[in-house]
Every structure is written in structure tokens, then in C-alpha cells.
Amino acid sequence: MAIIIDTSQVDRALDKILEEFTNPAKLNSFFAKASSIIKKDVDEHFTRELGPANDKAVVSSGFKRWKGLADITKENKRAKGTLGNGILRDTYDLKNSIKKFHNPRSGGLVTDSKYARSHQFGISMKNLAARPFFWFSKKAVDKLVGLVVAKIYRAWGRIA
């Protein structure tokens, strides 16, 4: 009687998984999907006016509403007819400036808005509250993890 451990099936599976994460065409598609998940998450932050539970967090399972507008800001928005548009959405220029990018090596979001940094982090000298919008909700992170797990399962399933 003998006990034989054959690792050839595991080796083949690991080779397929490695191919999933090194093939440029497959990675380009992966990062396209990942950047779409992130964009949808950030768009929701604008719509619901939400920041992470901790202002410095990049990933947060909790959230809090952005700080309300100062009275003078409300007056200015009322005069321009944009009070009903919500916080950071007078013209939608900031929200619309956020674009997805992806390539075989990475993916994410970028903005060229001159207002992005000021609103993300605030400016104490101008009494401008931080209203972070570039952060990941736990829901988005779970979806990103799901993408990775799906790639592994697809690779593993092709070894039979």
C-alpha cells in the first residue's frame, strides 16, 4: 500500500491562475471592470453626499453625511438658482471631471478639476469643510474582491 501525493493538478491550477494575472488582455478587462466599480461608488458618494466614517479613511465600512453648507453659501446658491442641486453639484463640473482609466497594469479614477483637492481635504484658512468623495465603501471593496476571486475560480475551473 502507498500514499502518493500528486501535485501536478495543483501546479496546473497555479499556472492558469498566474496566466489570469499576467496576461495583458485579461488584465486590461479586469482593470476596466474594477475602475467601473470604483466610479459607480464615487458617483454614489456625490448623489448621497457621503464621506467615510473617518475623514482620513480610504476604505470605510461606515459613512457620514458631508457637512452642511454655510449660510452664506446657501444664500449664494439660492441667488444663482442652484440651491436644490446639492452639495458640490452647482454645475456638476467636479463630479463630471472624474474619469475612469485602465490599462493592463492598473486602473482607477482621475480628475483634472482644480476644485477636487480643496473639497476632498478642505481648506481651513477659507473655512471650507472637507467633503471627501474619493474613498471606497466596503460594498465596493467586496465587489473588487469578488472580481479577483472570480478570476481565480475561472482559472481553476479550466484545469480539469
How far apart are the C-alpha atoms of 33 and 100, rounded to whole Å? Answer: 10
How far is 65 from 45, CA to CA, in rounded Å? Answer: 9
Give the chain's domain count.
1
> Please, which pLDDT band fits residue 159 given cuts at 50, 70 and 90?
low
pLDDT tens-digit series, residues 30-74: 999 999 999 999 999 999 999 998 877 788 888 999 999 889 889
Range of the domain at 55: 8-157
Vertex 154 angle, CA 148 and 156, to 5°: 105
Residue 97 CB burial class (10 angstroms; 0-12, 13-18, ≥19):
middle
Q: What is the pTM of this model?
A: 0.82
In-domain check, residue 2: no
Domain-embedded: residue 94: yes
Within-domain flag for 38: yes
pLDDT digits (tens, 9 = 90+) for 80-117: 888 888 898 888 899 999 999 999 999 999 999 999 99
